[in-house]
Amino acid sequence: MPDQERTREIAVDRELCMGSGMCIVYAPGTFAHDEATKAIVIDPMGDAIDAVRIAIEACPTGALSLTSEEERG
Amino acid sequence: MSEVDDTQTLDREQLRRLFDLRSSYNAHSGGDYTDDPYPMWAQLRARAAVHEGTVHELTGHAGAASFHGLPFPDRPHFSAFSFASCDTAYRDDEVFASSPDAAGPEADDISVTSSMLSMGGARHRRYRSLVQPSFVPAKAQWWIANWIERTVHLLIDGFVDDGRAELNVDFAAAIPVLTITGSFGVPVEQALVIRESLQRPMEIVEMLEPIVAARREKPRDDLISVLVEAEYTDDDGVTHRLSDAEVYSFAMLLLAAGSGTTWKQMGITITALLQRPDVLAAVREDRQLLRSAIEESLRWMPTDPMFSRWVTRDVDFHGVQLPRGAVLHLCIGAANRDPARWVRPEQFDVRRAPKPTLAFGSGPHICIGMHVARAEMAVGIGALLDRLPNLRLDPDAEPPRFIGMYERGATAIPVLFG
């Protein structure tokens, strides 16, 4: 819903991240890789929340987490 | 780039022999198994997540089979069939190691078994980080533009005027081999020799030796150059690069893990679509669906439905006592159809919402080539749809069937078009 104010905070554990690219498969609007081939969040609102949850679950080393999410109508 | 300008030099007879799932070359991994294992896997999964025994024994296949984690006759064997148990084992590489001894390569031991597959812990992470940058989603376009696209179109050029083709060996089988060997800078006439030499690694090393030396001298925009230039700096500020032996081992791993798997998964995907003309028509109209079809094929029938882990300490796993030293076989074929995770799991449905499967594994050893494999399948099948109107199974030929125990794939895929 575009008229909603929403915030999301997504944490990346850079020690755990191995650069597999799984997050980019499932939420390409949210995640990318930096120079060190570590996942970075390019836009926390870049994909539907379901896609972000799937990307977090898909991470093979559990490097991603949704630390806060507020959705207000 | 002239490496793949002449696919006509590919010996089709040699291709057919190398890529016949039932040939003696492939029989060792259960290529002589022709039944559908999924009904038995569903029964086993419903009874318990983890069973004692190997997957092929539990499935009722008496033939000898050698694959990852087999045969190891002196060790106890267990098999996991649920998504949760397989996923947990993949992610916990301390309890479930990827090799019997996580020793990794010796300087003078060049083979697939001495590659990254068998390393563990921090050493594996460091080594993999050297090569991971060439295999990320953003790099898929580099693979496509340099090797995949040209290979795919040259292969189609070979049969586009015939009105008929056999898509398994003449198309799907050749793409990954030519992509990987092309990325090494190996001339096309040597590509099949390399595939054939996988059991004799020193022959491959002899072929790669001059290439590696030349790239160390003068790098190009290819994979061997990436491998010889990759470096990382350790905690003490010392810079490390891959030795020649490590480059050869990685090249061997890519050939062994990347060429057979991708062609068979592509054949499975093509067959699943041809068997469902309405779905094929929908994919032809809406190419967004092609990606979904590839993901669904990976879920529904992963070409390698089993990988193994070695148990490093006594553990109670899903109610079963696994002793230290046991081999745990992860039946990802069964895990990918777990009804606890998917609705109507036995159905091939390209309209499912995206959800991770275990087709490429999980955990620290998740398939490094998965984005390249996806790119090869998408470009290959997309090009067939672009260039072969009215593509359909040949009604007068024997229809394709899925065979194999540990390396599953389609028999011949005879098609008509135009």
B291: tokens are: 């990606």
Residue B219 has pLDDT above 80, yes or no: yes
pLDDT at B148 > cutoff 80: yes
- Among chain B residues, CA nearest to A58: B356
Measured N-to-C along each axis, helices B188-196 and B244-274 cross at an angle, to the nearest 10 degrees, of: 90
So what's the pLDDT on residue B24? 58
- Residue-wise pLDDT for B392-418, tens only, equals 999 999 999 999 999 999 999 999 999
Residue B216 has pLDDT above 60, yes or no: yes
CB-nearest to A37 from B132, B353, B366 is: B132
* Interchain pair A22, B366: CB under 8 A: yes
Structure tokens at B390: 């009215």
| SS3 label, residue B330 | strand
Question: What is the share, in percent, of chain A residues with pLDDT greater than 90?
Answer: 81
Alpha-carbon B8 to chain mean position: 25
pLDDT digits (tens, 9 = 90+) for A9-23: 999 999 999 999 999
Q: Is the pLDDT of residue A1 over 60?
A: no
Answer yes or no: is pLDDT of B2 > 60.
no
pLDDT given at position A48: 95
Cβ atoms of B139 and B274 within 8 Å: the answer is: no
Check whether B107 has a pLDDT greater than 50: no
Give residue-wise pLDDT tens across range B319-363: 999 999 999 999 999 999 999 999 999 999 999 999 999 999 999
Q: What does the angle CA B200 – CA B119 – CA B405 come to, to the nearest 5 degrees? A: 60
Residue with tokens 């554990």: A13
What is the structure's pLDDT at B196? 77
User: How far is residue B109's CA from residue A54's CA, in Å, rounded to a whole number?
Assistant: 40
Q: What is the pLDDT of residue B259?
A: 83
pLDDT at A72: 46
Q: If DSSP states are collapsed to H, E and C, what string results for B15-84?
A: HHHHCCCCCHHHHCCCCCCCCCCHHHHHHHHHHCCEEECCHHHHHCCCCCCCCCCCCCCCCCEEEECCHH
Separation between Cα atoms, residue B339 and residue B82, nearest integer Å: 9
Which residues of B are less than 8 Å from A37 in CB distance?
Answer: 129, 132-133, 136
The residues on A that touch B, with CB distances below 8 Å, are: 18-22, 24-26, 28, 32-33, 37, 50-51, 54, 57-58, 60-62
User: What are the φ/ψ torsions at residue B78 (nearest 5 degrees)?
Assistant: -135, 160
- pTM of the predicted protein model: 0.92
Q: Residue A3: is its pLDDT beyond 90?
A: no
Q: What DSSP line would sit under B285-296, residue for residue?
A: H-THHHHHHHHH
